[in-house]
Amino acid sequence: MPLADHLRELRNRLAKGVLAILVVTVVAAFYYKDITAFVTGPVLDSIGCPQSFGQLARTKETHCAHLTVNGLLAPFTLALKVALTTGVVLASPVWLYQLWAFVAPGLHRNEKKYAYAFVGFGFPLFLAGGYLAYNVLPTTARFMIDLTPSGAENLLPLDNLLDLSIRMVVVFGLAFEMPLLLIMLNLTGILSGRRMLGWWRGMIVGIAAFAAVATPSPDPGTMLALAAPIWGLFFVAVAFSLFNDRRRRRREGTGLSDDEASELDLTPEDIGEIESVNAGRTLPEQSGTDRVNGYDDVT
């Protein structure tokens, strides 16, 4: 296709994806309170206080948090943020398909197969990471609220809580994609399983450091809740890569790998019998006279 047709197709694909996001955003705007309650519900259950003020006064070791919305325009901004985020997430099948439909015609058959596998396994892994973050967040909130001095009251802005929840879901979901990326690199022949296995010490330390930074609390339980599944997925990716490398070598037989050079045989060999060739005269023969450079030589 000419460049203008490619740009026109890209425009149409983007328009369809944006339209799907807008439609879902409009629908989600009518239910943003329910969506907000769904996101913040586990946190409130862990740090909220259902007791009365009199009971709270007699229970000095209980720490609570109250959600707040600051400013006159804050509720509208919050509703817009919740609706737009919901639109992007729920409309992801549509805009991901539009992106795939634009890229797929330029891929080879094996590349399409790898792309289908990446999407087929990547989306469930992302959901698993998001679900883990959704369950870890209440424990994190409870640990942070318990650090509050006795007699103090916690006012938690609702927009900050939503930003924290969304960030943790995205970070946990993307972290679960790392082993899948390693497998795709192995399937394409870029990274071998043996080399991947040699990284295991650094990967354990690196994943632990990433989990410590990604989780908002210094609670070691929360950090291990993120690091342990990624450690397991990494070793699953290593095992799959080693098996795939062995299968590839068995299929190729005794042939050389891509990074090996073939040996050159420099032993001299007999060229065999020389074939005689009859060559004609280079100068024309005349009767008794050969003409060379314009002169006549008498034979």
Question: DSSP readout, 51-79?
Answer: S-HHHHHH-TT---EEEE--SSSHHHHHH
pLDDT tens digits along 232-291: 888 988 888 888 888 888 877 655 555 555 566 667 766 666 666 666 555 555 555 555
Query: What's the rounded Cα separation, in Å, for the pair 80 and 75?
Result: 9
pLDDT of residue 56: 46
Q: How far apart are CA 203 and CA 234, in angstroms?
A: 8
Choose from 60-64, 69-73, 259-263 the range with maximum mean pLDDT.
Answer: 69-73
pLDDT of residue 196: 85
Q: How far apart (Å, rounded) are the C-alpha atoms in residues 97 and 268?
A: 61
Asked whether residue 157 carries a pLDDT value surpassing 80, the answer given is yes
Measured distance CA(292)–CA(190) in Å, rounded:
69
Measured CA to CA, the distance from residue 12 to residue 99 in angstroms comes to 11
- Helical H segments across the chain, by residue range: 3-29, 32-47, 53-58, 74-90, 92-103, 109-145, 158-175, 178-187, 193-197, 200-214, 220-252
Q: If pLDDT is split at 50, 70 and 90, which confidence band does 19 have?
A: very high
102-156 confidence digits (pLDDT tens): 777 776 776 677 767 777 777 788 888 888 888 878 877 777 777 777 767 777 7
CA-nearest of 23, 8, 44, 2 to 88 is 23
Q: What is the average per-residue pLDDT within 50-66?
A: 56
Least confident stretch, 70-74, 145-149, 220-224, 290-294: 290-294
Alpha carbon distance 274, 4 (integer Å): 63
Contact 133, 174 (CB under 8 A): no
Are 192 and 183 contacting, i.e. CB atoms less than 8 angstroms apart?
no
Question: pTM score, two decimals?
Answer: 0.64
Identify the three-state secondary structure at position 255.
coil
Helix 200-214 vs helix 220-252: angle between axes, to the nearest 10 degrees? 140
Q: What percent of the chain has pLDDT over 90?
A: 2
> What is the predicted pLDDT for the residue at 26?
92
Query: Of 19-23, 49-53, 139-143, 235-239, which gets the smallest average pLDDT?
Result: 49-53
Q: Is the pLDDT of residue 227 over 70?
A: yes
Which region among 95-99, 246-250, 290-294 has the lowest average model confidence (pLDDT)?
290-294
Least Cα distance to 260 among 205, 192, 214, 209 occurs for 192
Facing residues of 290 across strands? Answer: 297
Q: What is the sign of the dihedral through the CA atoms of 171, 176, 179 and 181?
A: negative
Least confident of 20-34, 54-68, 107-121: 54-68
Structure tokens at 270: 């007999």
Residue 299: pLDDT over 70: no
Q: Which of 196, 177, 176, 178 is nearest to 186 (CA)?
A: 196
pLDDT of residue 162: 83
